[in-house]
Each structure stands twice: as C-alpha cells, then as structure tokens.
Amino acid sequence: MNRTLFSAAMSVAVLLSTSAVAALPEAKPLSAQTRANLEAAMHGEAYANLKYLRFADQAEAAGKPALAKLFRASANIEANEHFDREAQALQLGGANSANLEDAMAGEHYENITMYVNFAKQAEADGDVKVAAMFRQIAVDEGTHFDAYKAALAKLADE
C-alpha cells in the first residue's frame, strides 16, 4: 500500500473506531462470563498498548518514524478507547478504599504466589537470570502492597 493510501486507511480506521456506538446501559447485571471476558479483553488491550509503544520506540530507533506513528496511534486506541470502554462496561474501580483493597489483592498475589512460583519454575528450567529477576520484582510488589496498605490505613484515619 502506498503512503497516501495507507494514511487514508489509517484515518478511516481511527474515525470508525472513535465513532463506534456508545455503550448502551445494561438493564441487568452482567453475567459472570461477560465480566470474565471483559477482564480478559482488558488484559489484552493493556498488554497491546505497552507492546505497541515499545514497538514504536524500536521503529523510531530503526529510522522508521511513520511506522512508529502507526504503532503509537494503535497503542492510543487500545488504551484510551478499547480498554477504557471495557473498563466502563465492567464499572472498574470506585471508592478509594475498595480500589486500594483491589490493588492490594493483586500486589499480594504477585508478591507471595505468582512471582515466587515463576522464579521456582525458571530455576528448575535453568533460566537463572529470569528467576532472579522474578524474585526482585516479587520484592517490588511487596513494596507496592505495603504502600497501598499504609494508604488504606491513612484513609481510615481521615
């Protein structure tokens, strides 16, 4: 595809995406499966956002600014439209205390379960550098947990 045609196609794609039908109010609570699918979709969109930003930096470094622009434009849609609309549909977040408890649960799981298991598996497979990295990140997640816990306690005092 030549450059002009490519730009035009991207503009149409962006236009279609931004003019997508607004979410209709749900008459009933979402099913458990729909909620799970929204969670899964949001994980994918968040991952795609960060991945495309990385790809954009790599394109920029390789002297391909137009490709970098394409990746950044897509990354923006993934985060600020797709993830955002799905988060609204899921009614993600709310009161600060509930948000902190949610964040603590995630950090705690990563701190004491997920990264510890990942490190053990990596060690068993001989991937010692990655194992060490998992252990370091596990410690960071513990720090995040502690900070959120302190913030929750402070919130209760206010």
Chosen residue from 68, 82, 103, 119 binding Fe ion by CB under 5 A = 82
Least Cβ distance, residue 82 to Fe ion (angstroms): 4
Chosen residue from 53, 71, 78, 115 binding Fe ion by CB under 5 A = 78
Please say which residue, 104 or 131, places its beta carbon nearer to Fe ion: 104
- Name all contacts of 10-19 with Cβ < 8 Å and 24+ positions apart: 10/70, 10/73, 14/73, 14/77, 17/77, 17/81, 18/81
Please say which residue, 59 or 141, places its beta carbon nearer to Fe ion: 141
Choose the stretch contacting Fe ion; rule: CB under 5 A; options: 3-11, 19-27, 92-100, 141-149.
141-149
Side chain identity at residue 101, one-letter code: E
Side chain identity at residue 83, one-letter code: F
Q: How far is CA 98 from the centre of its chain?
A: 19
What residues contact residue 138 under an 8 Å CB cut-off, 6+ apart?
110, 111, 112, 115, 116, 119
Least Cβ distance, residue 48 to Fe ion (angstroms): 6
Residues from 95 through 134 that contact Fe ion (CB under 5 A): none
Please say which residue, 144 or 149, places its beta carbon nearer to Fe ion: 144
Please say which residue, 115 or 122, places its beta carbon nearer to Fe ion: 115
Please say which residue, 71 or 82, places its beta carbon nearer to Fe ion: 82
Residues from 23 through 52 that contact Fe ion (CB under 5 A): 45
Does 86 interact with Fe ion (rule: CB under 5 A)?
Answer: no
Cβ pair 52, 75 in contact under 8 A: yes
Exposed, middle or buried by CB within 10 Å (0-12, 13-18, 19+), for 107? buried
